[in-house]
Amino acid sequence: MKEIHHWIDGKEVAGKSGRYSDIYNPATGELQARVALATADELNAAIDSAARAQVGWAATNPQRRARVMMKLGQLINENMDKLAELVSLEHGKTLPDARGDVQRGLEVIEVCMGAPAMLKGEFTDNGGPGIDLYAMRQPLGVVAGITPFNFPAMIPLWKMGPALVSGNAMILKPSERVPSTSLMLAKLAQEAGLPDGVLQVVNGDKETVDGLLDHPEIQAVGFVGSTPIAQYIYGRAATNGKRAQCFGGAKNHMLIMPDADLDKAADALVGAGFGAAGERCMAISVAVPVGQKTADALIEKLVPRIEALKVGPYTSGDDVDFGPVITQAAKDRIEGLIESGVEEGAKLVVDGRGLKIQGYENGFFTGPSLFDNVTRDMRIYQEEIFGPVLSTVRTDSYDEALQLVMDNDYGNGTAIYTADGDTARDFASRVNVGMVGINFPIPVPLSYYSFGGWKKSAFGDLNQYGPDAFRFYTKTKTVTQRWFSGIKEGGEFNFKAMD
Ligand code: NAD
């Protein structure tokens, strides 16, 4: 059985706890490896040596730190296919999608190449008579990154890039389902010139996370995962006096107005609803057609598109649209939720349950499912399904559709399809959701903006990556300085005998 280790002080270190988490190949259902879960002592030792390494790294000038990002970017590009394969092997997503996972992380590293400009301070000349003020951004120290299973490359890169280039050391605790990509990224960072100890990958579960949350040396916690855990981590980190930004789950709605191009809307819904088996925090999981005619026409366009989707292992190459879900437990939960939708009276238009793929009978596959006539009180509406299931909630007016989105607990992403600029503008302005797409289904902002939801999709006040990340990973020190009259006012310049 392959054993996955930690990455401590620039090398792989075998875990000593005797506790492991199993890693499956989601396409075959086979147990392919186990990852060691760190003990408190192992975690503490990793934090101590990160704290020592951070001092020299923080003293390294920002341009040199940025050069490490440049080299890391180059190495990620050179290793794109290997990284993508590793992502697919543990996660199950298709290879083109896995490349996208790496690419969207790489783009954050590209922004980090220009970090010195982001880390510049402020200066006021003559804020008072002979008084100047300046503010500098200084690194926090050792920070923690805790990441989910669904983007094994992108989210660790979102965390490590801005934190490291700002002069911090990081303890990265990747998802115990997909740890290998983080380990490979740590190796590439070392090859790029990152000093040993500045990035430690410590594998673990709740015990390790709690150790990070309670350790006095950890100054900030960047978390991405489900909402209950995000809220828990935010609370415990804050109680312990740490900065925290915790990004949670989602239920993203797409409004389809009667004037929308329905072919384009249907294509967008299929891609955004079923891509990566719906395991994206920016997946569209609720279609909201406005008007019964729009709804009927939309369903008619969706059904053949959904029935034509090909599901299979990533090894089938470009031939598959999406792969398996992450575990058997995830598959059971998703299919259980579909059953609850049927029992609660929603119309199951396409039923993806019971899919068997020849040669991969034990894989965690579930086909695409489409519901119509979903209502607010149903579990399939209220819960994040995180699977290939699209729910349709019919509405009779724009106001009703907007209110539906506004009333939802989550506020990660949303989209509107319309030909009318006035409606689109009104929607973007009024909706209480952090990321909005106009005729654009998955509005993940580019890396020089920043990513963050509202409501129960995020806890904390700053977004991840982009300018916000540099604020999160640095603290401001403001100096007010005055110099009393000195040598220019008549200091002694000549060599004189001592009296
Ligand atoms: P998860 O919350 O189960 O796990 C995330 C991380 O938290 C993992 O590293 C895990 O080890 C740790 N963890 C799990 N249970 C814990 C506990 N009880 N105490 C402390 N730590 C714990 O999430 P997941 O299943 O890996 O990822 C899917 C979720 O992540 C979905 O809800 C999805 O919407 C969300 N997500 C959000 C974003 C975003 O930016 N908002 C991005 C990607 C995924």
Mean pLDDT of 13-20: 95
Per DSSP, which regions of 110-178 are E strands? 122-128, 131-139, 142-146, 169-173
- From the alpha carbon of 386, which atom of ligand 1 is closest? 31
Residues 76 and 179 in one domain: yes
Distance from C-alpha of 175 to C-alpha of 153, rounded to nearest angstrom: 11
Does ligand 1 have an atom closer than 6 angstroms to the CB of 221? Answer: no
Please work out whether the CB of residue 457 comes within 6 Å of at least one atom of ligand 1: yes
Separation CA 195–CA 9 (nearest Å) = 8
- Residue 443 placed within a domain: no
The 10s digit of each residue's pLDDT in 375-384 is: 999 999 999 9
Looking at residue 489, its pLDDT comes to 75
The DSSP bridge pattern shows strands 435-438 and 413-417 to be: parallel
Catalytic residue, chosen from 281, 287, 297, 374, is 281
How much is the pLDDT for 278? 98
Q: What is the ipTM of this complex?
A: 0.99
Residues 403 and 381 in one domain: yes
The pLDDT, as a whole number, for residue 318 is: 78
Per-residue pLDDT tens over the stretch 233-247: 999 999 999 999 999
- Local confidence band at 493 (pLDDT 50, 70, 90 cut-offs): low
Q: Is the pLDDT score of 76 beyond 90?
A: yes
* 238 and 280 fall within a common domain: no
* pTM (predicted TM-score): 0.96
In a domain, 451, yes or no: no
489 within a domain of the structure (yes/no): no
Mean pLDDT of the chain, nearest integer: 97
**Residue labelled with tokens 């806890």:** 459
The answer on pLDDT for 370 being more than 90 is yes
CATH number of 68's domain: 3.40.605.10
- Residue 485's pLDDT band, with cuts at 50, 70 and 90, is confident
When pLDDT is cut at 50, 70 and 90, the band that residue 488 belongs to is confident
Assigned domain for 424 exists: yes
> How many domains, in total, are found in the chain?
2
pLDDT for position 14? 96
pLDDT above 70 (res 271): yes
For ligand 1, atom 8: residue with the closest CA: 175
pLDDT at 200: 98
Q: What is the pLDDT of residues 309-326, one digit of tens each?
A: 999 999 997 789 999 999
From residue 494, give the alpha-carbon distance in Å to each of 465, 491, 497, 499. 57, 9, 10, 14
Ligand 1 mutation target, pool 149, 226, 251, most atoms within 8 A of CB: 226
When pLDDT is cut at 50, 70 and 90, the band that residue 492 belongs to is: low
- Tell me, yes or no, whether 92 lies in a domain: yes
439-459: pLDDT as tens digits: 999 999 999 999 999 999 999
Structure confidence by residue, pLDDT tens digits, 395-414:
999 999 999 999 999 999 99
> CB–CB of 300/335 below 8 Å?
no
Q: To test the ligand 1 pocket, which listed residue (91, 181, 252, 281) has its Cβ within 8 A of the most ligand atoms?
A: 281
Considering the domain architecture, whether residues 189 and 70 belong to the same structural domain is answered as yes
Q: Is the pLDDT of residue 336 over 70?
A: yes
486 pLDDT tier (thresholds 50, 70, 90): confident
Same domain, 318 and 232: no
Distance CA 154, CA 461 (A): 21
Model confidence at 499: pLDDT above 60: no
CB of 250 closer than 6 A to ligand 1?
yes
366's CB contacts (< 8 A; 6+ apart) are 277, 324, 325, 331, 334, 335, 352, 353, 355, 387, 388
Contact 1, 31 (CB under 8 A): yes
Over the stretch 104-154, which tens digit does the pLDDT of each residue have?
999 999 999 999 999 999 999 999 999 999 999 999 999 999 999 999 999
Does residue 288 share a domain with residue 219? no
Q: Is 383 a pocket residue for ligand 1 (Cβ < 6 Å)?
A: no
Q: Does 77 share its domain with 221? A: yes
Considering the chain, what percentage of its residues have pLDDT values greater than 70? 98
In testing the pocket of ligand 1, which one of 151, 203, 205 has its CB within 8 Å of the most ligand atoms? 205
Residue 447 lies in a domain: no
pLDDT of residue 395: 98
| Domain match, 239 and 258 both | no
Ligand 1 close to Cβ of residue 450 (< 6 A): no
Is 246 a residue of the active site? no
Domain interval for residue 258: 252-438
Q: Which residue's C-alpha comes closest to atom 24 of ligand 1?
A: 148
| 37 and 72 inside one domain | yes
In a domain, 338, yes or no: yes
Q: Is 278 in the pocket of ligand 1 (CB under 6 A)?
A: no
Q: Given this model, what pLDDT does residue 319 score? A: 85
Indicate whether 49 and 165 sit together in one domain.
yes
How far is the first Cα of the chain from the last one, in angstroms, to the nearest whole number? 85
Atom of ligand 1 nearest to the CA of 148: 26
Confidence band, pLDDT 50/70/90 cuts, at residue 362: very high
Q: Atom 23 of ligand 1 has which residue's CA nearest to it? A: 225
Q: Are residues 256 and 113 in the same domain?
A: no
Q: Is the CB of 146 under 6 A from ligand 1?
A: yes
What percent of the chain shows pLDDT beyond 90? 96
Shared-domain flag, residues 72 and 210: yes
The CATH number given to whatever domain includes residue 329 is: 3.40.309.10
Say if 493 falls within a structural domain. no
